């Protein structure tokens, strides 16, 4: 899918940040933690702005001395000018533009090792998409693929992922992608996760928030696995379900990470 390119050459800082939000080659990183992770995982930062009197540099001293030097080179602006650079200025007072680390679906599917991949089928909420990327990075998954209308590198998804798109390959894919990997449907009607086997190199497919996995994915799956819930509970939040399954895998198979 081609997300629209910015229509004209941006001149002012506000225009640059606005244009970057729609540029399929760029990533807008909102907040100290997103910038911290992007720097830590070697993103190519094109511009960083921090708000004067905001907490970003103090947070850098306290939480991320490894990236402090690069954060200190940021342009410093009064809060009201910083606040013009995003629709919802992040309270940590930091924002930046980086080049995306582009990965193709084939590259994600070809990641070596036994780790699972996460396939999100048409996630509706960018916050869930980002939270799924964040936990996939934390648990050591091989990568994340997402189908549907949303760009997984959208600034809102990056914000929810705290910039961890730079820690593992993340790509949009037209339709169900599995390559030669086993496909595991994660669905409330399946074998109990407590006893189910998670095969190596699996693609773990998670469904859309309202209606779950499509018939196509359910029909093609090699396994169906469910997360046990108390009676009366219909389902977990999408990103929570991703976290539960990835950590079930990780805690069982720490060597595979």
The residue among 86 and 243 lying less far from ligand SAM, judged by its C-beta, is 243
Q: Which of residues 61-80 bind ligand SAM (CB under 6 A)?
A: none
Q: Which of 38, 213, 217, 221 binds ligand SAM (CB under 6 A)?
A: 213
CA-CA-CA-CA torsion for 22, 27, 31, 37, nearest 10 degrees? 160
How many residues does this entry show for the chain? 257
Interface pick for ligand SAM out of 238, 243, 246, 249 (rule CB under 6 A): 238
Q: How many CA atoms lie within 13 A of 90 on its CB side?
A: 23
The Cα 223–Cα 183 span in angstroms is 7
Residue 198 to residue 94: CA distance in whole angstroms = 40
**Toward ligand SAM, which CB reaches closer, 29 or 213?**
213
**Lookup: tokens for 238:** 């999408």
Segments of 61-136 assigned E as strands:
75-77, 94-99, 117-120
> Do the Cβ atoms of 247 and 213 come closer than 8 Å?
no
Instruction: Provide the angle, in degrees to the nearest 10, between the axes of the packed helices 238-252 and 126-139.
Output: 10
Residue 106 phi, psi (nearest 5): -65, -40
- CB of 51 or CB of 185, closer to ligand SAM: 185
We find the least distance from the C-beta atom of residue 195 to ligand SAM, in angstroms, to be 14
127 binds ligand SAM (CB under 6 A): no
Q: Which of 29, 166, 161 is nearest to 90 (CA)?
A: 29
Return the residues of window 178-197 that contact ligand SAM according to CB under 6 A: 186-188
- Token pair recorded at residue 2: 């081609």
The smaller minimum CB distance to ligand SAM, of residues 89 and 212, is found at 212
- Smaller CB separation from ligand SAM, 66 or 191: 191
Least distance CB 176 / ligand SAM (angstroms): 14
Residue 83 or 236 with smaller CB distance to ligand SAM = 236
- Residue 45 or 186: the one with the smaller Cβ distance to ligand SAM is 186
Among 207, 214, 217, 243, binds ligand SAM (CB under 6 A): 207
Q: Which of 227, 243, 246, 249 binds ligand SAM (CB under 6 A)?
A: 227
CA triple 147-129-208, angle to 5 deg: 55
DSSP per-residue letters across 139-154? HT-SEEEE-SSS-TT-
Q: Is 35 in the site for ligand SAM (CB under 6 A)?
A: no
Least Å from the CB of residue 186 to ligand SAM:
4
CB of 65 to ligand SAM, least distance (A): 38
Interacting residues toward ligand SAM by CB under 6 A:
186-188, 206-207, 209, 211-213, 226-227, 229, 235-238, 241
């Amino acid at each position: 899918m081609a997300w629209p390119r910015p229509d004209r050459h941006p001149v002012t800082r506000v225009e640059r940040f606005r244009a970057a939000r729609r540029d399929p080659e760029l990533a807008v990183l909102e907040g100290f933690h997103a910038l911290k992770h992007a720097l830590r995982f070697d993103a190519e930062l094109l511009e960083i702005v921090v708000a004067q009197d905001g907490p970003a540099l103090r947070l850098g001293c306290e939480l991320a001395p490894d990236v402090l030097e690069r954060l200190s080179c940021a342009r410093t602006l009064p809060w009201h000018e910083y606040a013009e650079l995003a629709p919802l200025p992040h309270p940590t007072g930091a924002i930046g533009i980086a080049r995306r680390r582009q990965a193709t679906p084939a590259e994600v599917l070809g990641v070596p090792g036994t780790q699972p991949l996460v396939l999100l089928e048409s996630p509706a909420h960018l916050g869930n998409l980002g939270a799924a990327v964040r936990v996939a990075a934390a648990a050591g998954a091989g990568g994340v693929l997402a189908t549907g209308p949303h760009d997984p590198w959208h600034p809102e998804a990056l914000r929810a992922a705290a910039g961890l798109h730079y820690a593992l390959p993340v790509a949009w894919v037209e339709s169900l992608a599995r390559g030669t990997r086993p496909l595991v449907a994660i669905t409330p009607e399946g074998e109990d996760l407590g006893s189910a086997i998670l095969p190596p190199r699996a693609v773990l497919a998670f469904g859309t928030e309202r209606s779950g996995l499509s018939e196509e994915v359910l029909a093609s799956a090699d396994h169906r696995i469910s997360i046990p819930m108390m009676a009366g509970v219909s389902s977990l939040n999408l990103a929570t379900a991703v976290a539960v399954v990835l950590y079930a895998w990780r805690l069982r198979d720490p060597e595979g990470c």
